[in-house]
Amino acid sequence: SQQGEEDPQALSIQEGENATMNCSYKTSINNLQWYRQNSGRGLVHLILIRSNEREKHSGRLRVTLDTSKKSSSLLITASRAADTASYFCATFPRGSYIPTFGRGTSLIVHP
Amino acid sequence: DAGVIQSPRHEVTEMGQEVTLRCKPISGHDYLFWYRQTMMRGLELLIYFNNNVPIDDSGMPEDRFSAKMPNASFSTLKIQPSEPRDSAVYFCASSFVRTGGSRETQYFGPGTRLLVL
């Protein structure tokens, strides 16, 4: 079964708007990562947040982690058409280097 | 660095044929992963290697699938015989330890899109 599940499955917004996607997981984790996949390409690592961190920023990306609720969110601010892609969360159980990926959120940003 | 290299990028074959997918991980990476991605099942981990040794192949769907890593710079995933339900995108990924970095970060190849007719 999937450890991480993203929500929503699909998101359509206008350029300039913010995009928020969520990830829920079931077991205790060491860290959680977000990846982006452009159409026809492999996944690209965006950001990692450890279990003892609550929030992390990287450029226009903001990730939060709530271990009590076993959930994370990825916020993309001031979205651009180039942000159109699928976004996946990957969870790493404690002591493991092996991730479990969710099914992803498909984001479309209209110019 | 060229990143993770996979070949072929596209493969169309007929049911029953043998298919071999190839991967060259990033130099210096000591973990290598094979994934399969489909619309129905999402991204599935098939098998992973550490220092060329297979560690966990519990994700390999059946005996028709096999993977090898003869050296640190090359791995293959073989399907014999192939079936239409094997149609998917197959990804190879690698990871390593870097001072100040994270072993858990995975670097993915561009994938091989397989279609079995």
A20-34 pLDDT per residue, tens: 999 999 988 888 999
Terminal C-alpha separation, chain A: 36
Q: Would you call B93 and A41 a contact, using CB atoms and an 8 Å cutoff?
A: no
User: A97: which chain B residues are within 8 Å (Cβ-Cβ)?
Assistant: 31, 95, 103-104
Whether A6 shows a pLDDT value over 70: the answer reads yes
Smallest CA–CA distance from B41 into chain A, residue: A103
Q: Would you call B103 and A97 a contact, using CB atoms and an 8 Å cutoff?
A: yes
Does B48 contact A at CB distance below 8 Å?
A: yes
Q: Would you call B111 and A2 a contact, using CB atoms and an 8 Å cutoff?
A: no
pLDDT band of residue A110 (cuts 50, 70, 90) is very high
* CA quadruple B102, A48, A102, B85: dihedral, nearest 10: -40
Strand partners, A85: A107
Question: B80 — phi, psi (to 5°)?
Answer: -150, 115
> Tokens at residue B47, please?
């098998």
* CA quadruple A69, B108, A103, A66: dihedral, nearest 10: 10
> For chain A, give me the number of helices (H) and strands (E)?
0, 11
The minimum CA-CA distance between B15 and chain A, rounded to whole Å, is 24
Q: Give per-residue pLDDT as tens, B45-81.
A: 999 999 999 999 999 988 999 999 999 999 999 999 9
| Rounded CA separation B26/A39 (Å) | 22
| Rounded CA separation B96/B107 (Å) | 9
